[in-house]
Amino acid sequence: MRVKRESLIRIAKETAQERAYNDKNIIAAYLTGSLLKDEPFLGGVTDIDLVLVTDKETSKKRQIVKLTHDFHLDISFHAKNEYQPARELRVNPWLGYELYDPLLLHETQHFFEFTQASLRGGFEFQEPGLVMERCRKLYDTSRKIWIALMDIGDQSGPKDVANYLHSLYHAVNVIAELQGPPLTERRMLLDFPALAENVERPGLSYGFLGLLGGTGLEADTLEGWLPEWKSMFQAAFETGRAATRINTARLNYYQKCFESMLIGADPKVMLWPLFNTWTLAAVALAKNETAAWEGVRKKLGFSGKGFVERIEGLDRFLDEIDILLDEVAEANGLEPSTSM
């Protein structure tokens, strides 16, 4: 079935209106993510990223709602107080971009109007000082996770690899945030080379792939991993312990993306979403259920001394980003960072 971007946006609007009608705690709703772009599809599929803002705290933070085998709602719940003080959103690398230019679907209490005005008012969102603060927050988070990884030695498990990937995710998004919004999961390796080129650091792109152990991978190898990835993805969801994104409603969202990448110009761009979701699945499973993932992480250099070398490589990657940030700061008349 051919699905158009406009049809998915209409579903987002209808969902927001229905949820707000049935839950008076919802004071705003907006659309963010890939559907704001002219070409949101990868492998013919995408998701609907819907944010519901609540007047009071709610225990629910994220919900996946299946629509068809190919499409789903990815709903985030944010309490109103997460946007306060509104002026601080200017230096928030995640919520800042999310709220800067989404598609408003519903609001009461003038929440969106006032909050977005505070975010935009008085300063240009891309003013160098604000950009640098957002980048430094991402860098500092990445570096703190790296520090925690230093003592793992030769013994490591899925949680350690997941933390490593989380650190790398923040590091790569420093380069993205210098130029615009953070990268999305499926497009990480696809979009990063151009961003690295833009800041005259093309080597960072090769370094990113190297830190994933992907420089020598062939398409046949990646394709051969897909059945075991799918099996563990499904098993992890059934435990009820997996991260929210490990949901069978999202299987085609990933798998059809992978299949399109396998026949694309560079199949290795699928490695980030493949290995990241596989690792999150492994975190939720017992050790005797992760043999396939263990084999893949060994192949990619994420076990034993190989993982120690990956962590050392991440240190050098972060150092290069730190140098770049200082250069950008100096070029814009800003003080260099005093962070770690």
Predicted local confidence at residue 210, as pLDDT: 98
Residues 231, 83, single domain; the answer is: no
Residues 169, 65, single domain; the answer is: no
What residues contact 5, with CB distance under 8 A and at least 6 apart? 35, 38, 40, 41
Residues 150, 252, single domain; the answer is: yes
Predicted local confidence at residue 26, as pLDDT: 97
Predicted local confidence at residue 51, as pLDDT: 98
Residues 236, 317, single domain; the answer is: yes
Percent of the chain with pLDDT over 90: 89
Contact of 52 with 75, CB cutoff 8 Å: yes
**Dihedral (CA of 184, 320, 217, 291) sign:** negative
Q: Supply the range of the domain harboring residue 86.
A: 5-120
The strands making up 62-66's β-sheet, listed across from edge to edge, are: 62-66, 72-79, 48-54, 26-32, 103-107
Question: Is 265 a domain residue?
Answer: yes
Residues 115, 134, single domain; the answer is: no
- Domain C-terminal end among 90, 120, 150: 120
Type of residue found at 308? V
Name residue, tokens 């560079």: 266
**Chain-centroid distance, C-alpha 220:** 26
First to last CA, the chain: 52
Nearest of 196, 183, 189 to residue 217 by alpha carbon: 189
- Domain C-terminal end among 89, 120, 151: 120
Residues 115, 137, single domain; the answer is: no
pLDDT less than 70: residues of the chain: 1, 122-123, 338-340
Predicted local confidence at residue 338, as pLDDT: 64
Question: Is 176 a domain residue?
Answer: yes
Beta bridge partners of 75: 50, 63
Residues 134, 269, single domain; the answer is: yes
What SS3 class is residue 199?
A: coil
Residues 177, 102, single domain; the answer is: no
Predicted local confidence at residue 152, as pLDDT: 84
- What would the pLDDT profile of 71-116 be if each residue is shown by its tens digit? 999 999 999 999 999 889 999 999 999 999 899 999 998 888 889 9
Question: Is 332 a domain residue?
Answer: no
Residues 133, 111, single domain; the answer is: no
Q: Alpha-carbon distance 338 to 210, whole Å?
A: 29
What SS3 class is residue 29?
A: strand
Name residue, tokens 């969902």: 15
Question: Is 215 a domain residue?
Answer: yes
Residues 141, 219, single domain; the answer is: yes
Predicted local confidence at residue 340, as pLDDT: 56
Contact of 51 with 98, CB cutoff 8 Å: yes
Question: Is 193 a domain residue?
Answer: yes
- Tell me whether residue 162 is exposed, middle or buried, using C-beta atoms within 10 angstroms of its C-beta: 0 to 12, 13 to 18, 19 or more: middle
Question: Is 137 a domain residue?
Answer: yes
Q: Give the β-pairing of 26-32 and 103-107.
A: antiparallel
pTM for the whole structure: 0.96
Residues 175, 200, single domain; the answer is: yes
Domain count, the chain: 2
Question: Is 335 a domain residue?
Answer: no
- Domain C-terminal end among 99, 120, 141: 120
Question: Is 212 a domain residue?
Answer: yes
What residues contact 47, with CB distance under 8 A and at least 6 apart? 33, 34, 71, 72, 73, 74, 250, 253
Q: Alpha-carbon distance 21 to 27, whole Å?
A: 10
Predicted local confidence at residue 122, as pLDDT: 63
Q: Alpha-carbon distance 332 to 191, whole Å?
A: 26
CATH of the domain at 79: 3.30.460.10
Predicted local confidence at residue 118, as pLDDT: 86
- What would the pLDDT profile of 146-196 be if each residue is shown by its tens digit? 999 998 877 899 999 999 999 999 999 999 999 999 999 999 999 999 999
Residues 140, 203, single domain; the answer is: yes
Contact of 90 with 123, CB cutoff 8 Å: yes
Type of residue found at 245? R
Predicted local confidence at residue 120, as pLDDT: 83
Type of residue found at 234? Q
